[in-house]
Structure 1
Amino acid sequence: MKKYFFCTIILVFTILFCLGFINRQNSDVANDNLEETISYGINEIPGDLEKVTKLSKRHEDIMCALSKGLVSKSADNKIVPSLASDVVKDKDGIQYEFKMRDDIFWSDGSKITASDIANFFKELLKEEDEVNIQALLEVYGAKEFRAGKAIFENGVAIRATENSVIIRLNQKNEEFLSELTKPQYRLRKYLIMWRNLNNNYDKLVYSGDYKIDSVSKENMVLKRNNNNSELKISNINILNDENVELSMASYEVKERDIVINPPESELNKLAEENNLISIPEAKAAYLVMNSSDNSLPVQGRREIYNNVCKAIESYQNLNNKEFELAEGSFFREDKKDLTKLQARKVVSNKEGKWDKPKVLTLLGEDSNENRILCRVIQEWFKNNTDITIKYSLVKEEFKDEELRKRYDMILVNNEASILDKTQFYSNFKEYLTDSQSKLLEKSKISTQNLDYSGFEESIFDNYNVLPLVFYNENIAISDKISELKLDGNGNLDFATIK
């Protein structure tokens, strides 16, 4: 009996020991998941995040990780509440009430209040460059306050109640909420201290999912806030890489988990390995034909455009992750209108006689994307036509109007947002004929539903402004990551990492 009892005790202790070991292993795995770290490189570690004027998109990513706004824009361009739980707009479309969530906290654990939002907007009006806060300057009294002619508390229509922030505009602005989703409107406390992150990062409190744990010229480490423990990634190590080639080299030896827009030569390989995320972005390229001196007749412009499209298509067939062919559409979303696109394709292929020049000149702003397009167009024309393409890529000089007039064709990059057609078409104003300019202004005044179809047909049929490609944002990811999204403003959303 004693022997049986003794054996039973030994068995119980053995089981308990094993269970403890298993629990300890499970605990270790859980802790490993909680302490997941990712790394990626950018070409400069920012030391100043007070203003967005000089920030790159990758610097904006950091600001978005460290702060949240009243509203945000999802990957599918929907405006969703963030610090606000709900947004109520009055019937006139002038006043907005942002009802605050109850579960929002600063990184030090203190609650984020409506007064914090109002105080931030007060600082923003004083400190941010005017070009970046046009939406906020449309608030009643905001311009007067910025000019020193009004007191914020009783002169600006931004009012904090116990549970809401109420904002009243001078006039209706359909884009107001969309503007508030941009990085510059994300809540930051003690805004002036964000000018010198190296000295102040550990004194700041953060409204976002992450806070700065350390920073130097070589790297910046973001650490997950304690109140966001559901996020997969605990630490984000941002390193100073001089260029994307260096980032890619580090990626190959598993020292980078994210590489933004890897070299074109790597895209197909990454896609085959399921390590590439391609996300449509608003950026697009258009071809402008200089026809002010009638040196290129309509038939000539038509044939040149048709050949340029063939050149780009031949490249895209081998590199289909970099961009999507416009196929005659000014906006990516309009490619669903197959009837219109087919009609444009038929017209573009229409043959006719014209005196073909031996040389055509092409000007573009210097960028990786434009280098590829220019090279592809030049090589295709060399191999398939009797016309030689000579191109120039410039930086600041691209703004020189007289320089642009000296070229037969111009590559123009534009934000192809179908939600803001007015701004989109206005960006081409200097390339329009007098009659097209008048038609554009008439469309702005008379249209109630932003129907620019008549104007669009005019610039296409005249072959002076023509769509080429819609770009993708390509992201190389390591095996640690199965999903990563950009928000509607094109910024990395680290909270979406899975």
Structure 2
Amino acid sequence: MNFPIRLAILISLVTGVSMAKISSKQINTYMAFGLPVDPANVRTLVDLDLSYALSSTLTEWSDSRELVAGIAKSWEMPKKNEIKFILKDRLMWSDGSEVTAIQVVKSFERTKKDHGDSLKSLFDQVASITAVGANTVKFELKVDAMSSGVLTKLTEPMYGLVFVNDDGKIDLSKTVGPFVLSNATHEALALKQNKKWYRYHAGMAEVVSIRRPPAGDEIQDSFLRDEWVNIMTSSSLVEKSVNETFEKKMFSIWNRSLDKIFFLSPGSKLANDDGRKFFKFLNKELDRSVLTSGLSGFSLTQQFFPSGYVLFDPEFKKGLTEVSLPKQFQTRPIKILGVSSRLNTRLKENIKAAIKKAIGIEPEFKLVQLSDFEKARAEKDYDFLAGALPVNDPNVEGAMGFFFGLNPPIIPDAGVDSLAFSERVSKAKALPSQSDRNLEYRRIFSDATNHGSIVPLFHYSTVVIAKSGMDLSAVPMSDETVAFSKVKFK
């Protein structure tokens, strides 16, 4: 599946904290967040970060990427299609009340009711979720529990426990996550430390203050100018001069390996034969070196996943056939949908130049805020999107469900039965071994690339930059993001 991490005065206004009480252990950051905040609604990396902050999952990944217990103390599989989770002893909500199994069940029921269409990769495998006594939650599955991937699926934060009121609505002022949501307005969010969290530690932030990124400004420039903001999530894909400035100021920098793909994907208008021919043409003719001119921190690619990831295909062959540019794209500018914070000025100009070089006409852009992207993606007034996604998820089935399972899918089908990717993903998930599933997933991505459903361009990295007084050294490079709970203070 990039998220930025925002003011002493604003905190005093929004949360009621006086200026004299502003904590020295306070994260101030920028984020293009959406409202209402919902840990189960994860469409962007900003959503992911908030989800990690405001909920906790039954299972989770250790720092060494081993599957371990989360809010569950343990689990067992007493029957072929059954998993039982035993909750941790004295597991508490932020208000000190004890968590019960029935509350866990209500949380899953609410998630399925409100977001089930986007979370089919779990719920399509589940027959029922019930409480057994006060501290045991039973999952009855439609498939074999051992090979289902449910245990790894449940590490994803959208399946984290949230408190559900009697009216079926969530209440994020009461959580089992590292933070609670103490205030939310269109301009800002305020999170407060949850001392009842099962992994609470004294070094974590007491307050997280979030503001929207300044409009019409490069976020890196705002970070350098604004004394209030002290941590920022960015990317390695910046102009070389910006990287040099960060290094000179000796900021604390957390830099992932190549963990994101920048790609082109057809919108609903191009999910047809002409659109696929256009994408095959682009994949063959687009000059990728023009796309990255003047930028640093990238690796050009022909396939979706980077080397080292389990779905990287060492035998991938770019099997594109000769195809001419369809006439409709020779006479009009194409419209590209993108997120304003993901397309810095240099990258946007590079994309214009590369496409003009390939088809002879400069494209137009429709740029939206990250929080509005999913709504814009569902509309039909653009030709294709230029986007970025994480490509390092240890939960392979979860990643496949995200790439092909959204409505509309990020990677659409390619027109004939053998290229119905969402159906092929569902069939692949039923294969008995992980190696068999991964082999079919690689084939699906090869077909999607070679038949005009995706154009991978380059890989780049997540970068988190913190100013003086903050310590990111405890955050493993295997993490998807720098969780607020793992930021320490010097």
Q: Would you call these one fold, judging by a TM-score over 0.5?
A: yes
Deviation at 1:376, TM superposition (A): 0.9
Q: 1:467 aligns with which of 456, 469, 479?
A: 456
Give 1:26-41 correspondences, 5 Å limit.
36-41=25-30
Aligned to 2:177: 208
Say whether the 8 Å CA contact 2:181–2:189 is kept in structure 1: no
Deviations 1:152-206 (A, max 9, x none): xxxxx41233553222123347243344333343223344689697xx94xx4x3
* One-letter amino acid of the counterpart of residue 131, structure 1: D
Q: 1:270 aligns with which of 246, 263, 271?
A: 246
Aligned to 2:19: none
Give 1:315-394 correspondences, 5 Å limit.
315=294, 318-320=295-297, 323-325=298-300, 327-333=301-307, 340=315, 344=318, 361-368=333-340, 369=342, 373-380=347-354, 388-394=360-366
**Matches of 1:285 and 1:49, distance apart in 2:** 27
Say whether the 8 Å CA contact 1:224–1:234 is kept in structure 2: no
* One-letter amino acid of the counterpart of residue 305, structure 2: F
Aligned to 2:131: 159
**Matches of 1:55 and 1:192, distance apart in 2:** 27
Aligned to 1:3: none
Aligned to 2:192: 222
Q: SS of the counterpart of 1:96?
A: strand
Give 1:84-99 correspondences, 5 Å limit.
84-90=72-78, 92=80, 94-99=81-86
**Matches of 1:365 and 1:294, distance apart in 2:** 15
Deviation at 1:97, TM superposition (A): 1.4
- Higher helix fraction (1 or 2): 1
* One-letter amino acid of the counterpart of residue 296, structure 2: N
Aligned to 2:160: 186
Aligned to 1:285: 263
Say whether the 8 Å CA contact 1:267–1:276 is kept in structure 2: no
**Matches of 1:433 and 1:75, distance apart in 2:** 42
What's the TM-score, normalizing by structure 1? 0.66
Deviation at 1:487, TM superposition (A): 10
| Larger radius of gyration between Structure 1 and Structure 2 | 1
Say whether the 8 Å CA contact 1:51–1:129 is kept in structure 2: no
Q: Does 1:131 align with 2:117?
A: yes
What's the TM-score, normalizing by structure 2? 0.66
Unaligned runs of 5+ in 1: 1-33, 142-156
Deviation at 1:132, TM superposition (A): 5.1
**Matches of 1:436 and 1:109, distance apart in 2:** 54
Say whether the 8 Å CA contact 1:277–1:475 is kept in structure 2: yes
Say whether the 8 Å CA contact 1:360–1:390 is kept in structure 2: no
**Matches of 1:437 and 1:340, distance apart in 2:** 20
**Matches of 2:404 and 2:337, distance apart in 1:** 19
Question: What percent identity do the matched residue pairs reach?
Answer: 12
Deviations 1:243-287 (A, max 9, x none): 374975365453222122279454453255343323354554146
Q: SS of the counterpart of 1:331?
A: coil
Q: SS of the counterpart of 1:366?
A: strand
Say whether the 8 Å CA contact 1:359–1:388 is kept in structure 2: no
Aligned to 1:145: none
**Matches of 1:215 and 1:438, distance apart in 2:** 41
**Matches of 1:86 and 1:183, distance apart in 2:** 18
* One-letter amino acid of the counterpart of residue 338, structure 2: D
Relative to structure 1, is the Cα distance of residues 231 and 401 closer, same or farther in structure 2, using a 3 angstrom cutoff?
same
Relative to structure 1, is the Cα distance of residues 389 and 45 closer, same or farther in structure 2, using a 3 angstrom cutoff?
closer
Aligned CA-pair RMSD: 4.9
**Matches of 1:294 and 1:169, distance apart in 2:** 40
Say whether the 8 Å CA contact 2:55–2:162 is kept in structure 1: yes
Deviations 1:68-124 (A, max 9, x none): 2212345776543211122223562x2111122225333333443434423444555
**Matches of 1:214 and 1:332, distance apart in 2:** 39
Aligned to 1:255: 228
Say whether the 8 Å CA contact 1:73–1:181 is kept in structure 2: yes
Deviation at 1:390, TM superposition (A): 1.6
Deviations 1:194-221 (A, max 9, x none): 9697xx94xx4x3222345666665524
Unaligned runs of 5+ in 2: 1-22, 369-374
Q: 1:312 aligns with which of 269, 287, 291?
A: 291
Say whether the 8 Å CA contact 1:75–1:486 is kept in structure 2: yes
Deviation at 1:45, TM superposition (A): 8.7
Say whether the 8 Å CA contact 1:436–1:458 is kept in structure 2: no
